[in-house]
Structure 1
């Protein structure tokens, strides 16, 4: 596998033409179109139709099991694409397979089958995601990676907003059509990417034994600063996902919406509000941390703000309250991600193995998605949605404390 610094000399870097950056935005947009449009709207609506009384527990179980598949398949697919020396076949195969899996998901009629097929969707999506994530270090020269990362990042709010707006149009009467359409967009993005962004076959290299790669992953977490950054990211994501994965049901059962507005309709308003506030805070937070030369205080402030924001829907379970919560949470999360990402790049254990170490950090993004649905469904079932916000606030505060022991970054 190439290192971050020598990618410019790698044969695959020859494929980095004018189409690469916009295609990276399109590819990442398609990812979040599925993750938010399906995971945030269509899947909860489908589970509610199949199990209206036990929907909270069922969504937690389905999401938790599927997140295990996501966590396992992402590094596995990355390893296999590394060994094959190609990215495009995995991008194309993952995108087309996702279309088939999503089409099938729209047809199943039991919670068991929903669980199995959603796991299949996660597996296919992570084949796509692992390969397209590796494209930047593979094909983009080091001096242009900041721009490339920004183009990737832009895809997240675009895909999230479009996915939620699109999916909401098919709830509750045309879920199968919604799955089919979102799957078709995913497949089209994969076809366009591989058609317009070509890659050359690399020269054969000796693959690193799997045992050595696993040992290297374990060694990474022995570095104290990186370990604390990992813990902080894990806690922030756990608190965030515990609440956000249940937003559909929170809007249905906890928030007093205006007359004539339902949960899908509310999501279509909240999605662009969240995207704008997150984007603005991401830009401002990154700029401010560079300007001040400080990362840890801004991360701590972001976590404290995110934690305090959890009180808003508890004290104001109204449409005004959830709008205010969405703005403040977007600001906190956007600033956190921008500054924490910068901090992580400064505490990587090995500059020559940046891709590997960032892969370890990705566990802190994916792991909470396994735990969050299970923790959240248990909390809601036992104590209700107010307790869920309280639990999320306490977990996120732990993320603020985790940056304190980091010594290598101010």
Structure 2
């Protein structure tokens, strides 16, 4: 059982609520986080990688897909931009006996599943935009609150390992989803993805145990709610640099939204072959990236080093995009996938563990993790809006090379962060509570 740290006073408002007592054994927490993450990753990744593209081909034809897909995914990601810190703030202060994290994991998973199921019934692009924004809101709530469990209930010494496992889920989730939908068609594909999202959330809340907050939280003002989107970079420089690392390296992953369009327009893949081709690429990504993710997470914990892994992840991710920028056949796409997979696996294996060390306040874990997650949301929000312009100017080559430069910058920015065990350095202001 963890002992909650002393409650502190926020300079901009009333005393923050005390941390709830944790009673879930580590093994159950890990399985619960895996289940919730798996459902959320499948719900968000599979539609973007293939289902939305196929739906839009029917609606607007191949030539209209890039713009329509950019509007849909851009609006959805922009909506998600506002969800994560608010979700963290709300869950931090939720006092229901069902649990401050369990409540929102279940609600987000079930509501997201309903919105996903409804997308198949749409007949206009604007309808997909609305529903996809709802998916981003609901699933964003679920995954943001799940991420808070890393600090709530996972001992610091074990966060590298579980971060590696969760990174593997990010890689294997799309593969599992694609494998399930490939033999299906039409509405059955959307219903299957929705069911996986709901089941993942349900399993998680059955395994988790939480105690309600000891005392009722003070009422939150509009100013405090808006402050959910801000952590001072001057007072907390380590948090700010970790945020920028996540932002720039996250730009590499944002390229995945256009994989289907790339295969259709440059490689010449047919719509009938698209799902199977992406599934094959996903097998490579998971096989290579998953292995790298697990090994890097374990090695990081043993060496007690995280910065070299983050740097290597950013550099290799950028390298994979450079290869893809000049690819004109599937073998080159496969090579790009393998390189990017190693980079993504290494980065994902330690990213969550590294970010969790940079949180400023123990009382605002959920909120601050939400702010941190904004760094991953911004590329997914902005790039779909600017990608059609970049494609018109320089095609996929310009788009992928620009994203590669951003990934390289992110990998280098990690040099500004303290290494594991160096958090006491007075240059850095961050969470130092040990669990």
Specify the alignment match of 1:229 in structure 2: 242
After TM superposition, give the deviation of residue 140 of structure 1 in Å: 4.3
Residue 102 in 1 paired to residue 116 in 2?
Answer: yes
Q: Distance in 2 between matches of 1:339 and 1:148?
A: 9
Residue 82 in 1 paired to residue 98 in 2?
Answer: no
Specify the alignment match of 1:23 in structure 2: 32
Q: Distance in 2 between matches of 1:343 and 1:200?
A: 27
Distance 1:190 1:332, change over 3 A: closer
Query: Which ranges in structure 1 are unaligned for 5 or more consecutive residues?
Result: none
Q: Distance in 2 between matches of 1:17 and 1:124?
A: 26
Specify the alignment match of 1:70 in structure 2: 80
Specify the alignment match of 1:137 in structure 2: 151
Specify the alignment match of 1:36 in structure 2: 45
After TM superposition, give the deviation of residue 148 of structure 1 in Å: 4.6
- Show CA shifts across 1:63-91 (max 9, x none): 11111111212222232222223222222
Q: How does 1:213-228 map to 2 (within 5 A)?
A: 214-215=226-227, 218-222=230-234, 223-228=236-241
Match of 2:172 among 158, 162, 173: 158
Residue 57 in 1 paired to residue 67 in 2?
Answer: yes
Specify the alignment match of 1:113 in structure 2: 127
Q: Distance in 2 between matches of 1:128 and 1:121?
A: 11
CA RMSD of aligned residues (A): 3.2
State TM-score, norm by structure 2: 0.81
Kept after mapping to 2: 8 A contact 1:304/1:396: yes
Q: Aligned pairs, how many? A: 402
After TM superposition, give the deviation of residue 182 of structure 1 in Å: 1.3
After TM superposition, give the deviation of residue 152 of structure 1 in Å: 3.7
Q: Distance in 2 between matches of 1:217 and 1:75?
A: 6
Distance 1:264 1:389, change over 3 A: same
- Show CA shifts across 1:9-54 (max 9, x none): 9655234486443232111111111112222111121122111121
Kept after mapping to 2: 8 A contact 1:239/1:391: no
After TM superposition, give the deviation of residue 386 of structure 1 in Å: 1.8
Specify the alignment match of 1:322 in structure 2: 333
Match of 1:269 among 253, 258, 280: 280
Q: Distance in 1 between matches of 2:27 and 2:282?
A: 30
Distance 1:251 1:136, change over 3 A: same
Query: Which ranges in structure 2 are unaligned for 5 or more consecutive residues?
Result: 8-17, 423-435
- Show CA shifts across 1:335-390 (max 9, x none): 23334445445554456755544332211111111012112222113321122222
Q: Distance in 1 between matches of 2:302 and 2:132?
A: 44
- Show CA shifts across 1:184-220 (max 9, x none): 2222232333334344444333237453465476343
SS of the residue aligned with 2:328? coil
Distance 1:138 1:343, change over 3 A: closer
After TM superposition, give the deviation of residue 273 of structure 1 in Å: 1.3
Specify the alignment match of 2:431 in structure 1: none
Specify the alignment match of 2:256 in structure 1: 244
Kept after mapping to 2: 8 A contact 1:11/1:202: yes
Residue 375 in 1 paired to residue 389 in 2?
Answer: no
- Show CA shifts across 1:155-186 (max 9, x none): 3233221112223334xxx3322111211222
State TM-score, norm by structure 1: 0.86
